Amino acid sequence: MIANGEPLFDTMRQLCLRVEKTWPGVLCSVFAIDRTGVMRPLAAPSFPEAYSQAHDGVAIGPDTDAPGRAASSRKPVLLEELASDPRASPSAAIIHGLGVSACWSLPVLGAAGDTLAVMNLYFHGARQVADVEREVAEACVELCETAFRRHESTLDRDRRANVDALTGLANRAAYNGAMAQLRCDDVGSWALFIIDLDNLKIVNDTFGHLAGDALIRAASARIARAMAPDVTYRIGGDEFAVILQQPANVADLNAAAERVFDELEVAADCDGHTVVPRATIGGATLSKTERTATSVGEAADFALYHAKETGRGGFVRYWPGIGSRITSRRAAIRDVSEALAENRIEAHYQPILRLDTGLIVGLEALCRLRSRSGDLLPAGSFQEATTDAHVASELTARMMAIVAADIGHWQNAGLLVEQVSLNVSTADFYTGSLAKKVSETFSKAGIGLNKIVLEISEDVYLGRNDRVVAREIEVLRAAGVRVALDDFGTGYASLTHLVNVPVDIIKIDRAFVARLWPDDPSTIIVEGLIEIARRLGVAVVAVGIETEVQASQLWAMGCGLGQGYAFAYPADRDATGTLLYRHAASGAGTSPLYADRPLSRPNGRVSKRRTSVA
């Protein structure tokens, strides 16, 4: 049985039965000794269940009965007369009822000399052990040792297969096994957390992988402590899972998640560097709609993904609508990836003009996707795809290449292009040096970086807690690239942020421009923004101007630049080239609304200044 790898319980049971058959009248039992030093009955086929129950969990030691003393001393203990032993056995009454009066306990030792088990032989009548019986008993102990060592080897192999070496937590294989064993017939009986470490990559990149490993160890210990007795698993490089089965945890997932955040908020020493572990959590519960372990796992993944997209560092519990949003996002990523592969990404340009004369002083490059049917799709229709870092960075690289080629085309045609701006996303700041990509793309095309403006939205810059974006902006500006804060007023910013934000331009969001009505708060906000920007030396561009009245109001407030449908719709390279040519030929603005009528300030003076975007 040992050679065949039979279960230890079955092997010990058969061994006891064979000993009893060899020695008629002898009763045999085997107790395993666990790592805490207590007895765990393993086989006692001829004893009543009460015998095993009486010994289960009893600590070994010199003041216990024969099995406990043999296990503790690691030497055989023979009690020739049980009735005369001053140390009471936990099963004394049961043994007395069986008519046995002597006990011989022999320890089963491991390779390191530690006690793995104890084999017990009970005899009828007081007696000593004959030499031949001693030889048989020692042979049985050897068999026990072989069986236990094989068992320990199997357990160790299983531990290595199911335990994460870095953290000591159960690993992905153990998690898969545990999920497969969960009962799913009781709605609300268990829940699942998927936890992602947000700052592991930046710690690895900044301080090295030793610091990253220390961060993983610190975070794993804290998560496990916060969730105990529920089990925590490490299921990926920076990802953990917790199967919640404690009623209090399942009943209040928000409180359970908050305990994790509380444990993580204290800084940890990571290879000599002080790091505060940051995590995002997605959770789901066994429910009427998620009624299998697989569906609960998918729901928790969806919730985690949504939490990371809407704001890292928080907890999101799954709700059915999340799946639809993620499906939509995946479709957008697929569509953009296919468009990139098939060269169906285009740049269309909208002019930026002086509001007093209509003179074009710059262009904004807007990304467009040409569908296979020939329809032109605006960026808003596939914006979800830019939440994928790879797609977003590839899209930006493609747009930069197109813009560089188009500027070169216009310059070769003798057209003056002062500045062109293009949008960048969060991913562009975290997938290699953006400044290096910009420099290589435009320098290779012979275009000075002073002609380039990069537009970033408020949530990209001000919605981040780290310094990655700020450092990259500093490098870009030092190289001559101008930086514009787009959609100003719609994200995280307040007026005081303008003091610290190292940008050259702010672009007032169209939502404010659309509400420039008498007594509307937007009018007061826009006036304040323009005045503060003027004092800070930051240029202001109003976006989404659709009427001459809006343009006049903005000019009267002191805003010198604007863009919108009042002047021109976005157009492709050739149409934009035609527009630039007409402006160059006429020497004045060609706005469809007021091409020949310059705007006047409230004091009646006409501005004659030549203005650039920055």
CB 105 within 8 A of CB 67: yes
CB 530 within 8 A of CB 540: yes
pLDDT for position 608: 32
Secondary structure class of 308 (helix, strand, coil): helix
Query: Which one is catalytic: 238, 335, 406, 509?
Result: 238
Secondary structure class of 545 (helix, strand, coil): coil
pLDDT mean for each 10 residues of the chain (614 residues)? 67 91 90 90 93 91 90 91 77 83 90 90 79 84 87 75 90 93 92 94 89 95 95 94 95 95 92 92 94 93 84 85 75 92 97 92 96 93 82 94 97 93 86 87 95 84 60 90 83 54 86 86 88 88 93 93 94 95 70 41 36 43
Interatomic CA distance for residues 153 and 242, integer angstroms: 28
Chain centroid, CA 444 distance in Å: 37
Interatomic CA distance for residues 240 and 258, integer angstroms: 16
pLDDT for position 333: 87
pLDDT for position 5: 54
Q: What residues does each domain of the chain span?
A: 8-162, 172-319, 330-586
* Residue entry with tokens 């928790």: 300
Interatomic CA distance for residues 432 and 599, integer angstroms: 45
pLDDT for position 401: 97
* Residue entry with tokens 């009245």: 549
Chain centroid, CA 448 distance in Å: 39
CATH domain 330-586 topology: TIM Barrel (3.20.20)
pLDDT for position 205: 85
Chain centroid, CA 551 distance in Å: 46
Interatomic CA distance for residues 603 and 606, integer angstroms: 9
Residues found in the chain: 614
Q: Is 238 a catalytic residue?
A: yes
pLDDT for position 339: 96
Secondary structure class of 490 (helix, strand, coil): coil
* Highest CATH level, class, for 8-162: alpha beta
pLDDT for position 132: 79
CATH domain 172-319 topology: Alpha-Beta Plaits (3.30.70)
Q: 172-319: same fold as 8-162?
A: no
Secondary structure class of 376 (helix, strand, coil): strand
201 phi-psi bin (left φ>0, alpha ψ -120 to 50, beta other): alpha
CB 335 within 8 A of CB 385: yes
State pTM to two decimals: 0.56
Per DSSP bridges, beta strands 482-488 and 452-457 are: parallel
CA R_g for the chain: 38
CA distance to 226, 228, 259, per residue, from 263 (Å)? 7, 12, 6
CB 142 within 8 A of CB 121: no
pLDDT for position 354: 93
pLDDT for position 606: 33
pLDDT for position 321: 76
CB 191 within 8 A of CB 281: no
pLDDT for position 88: 65
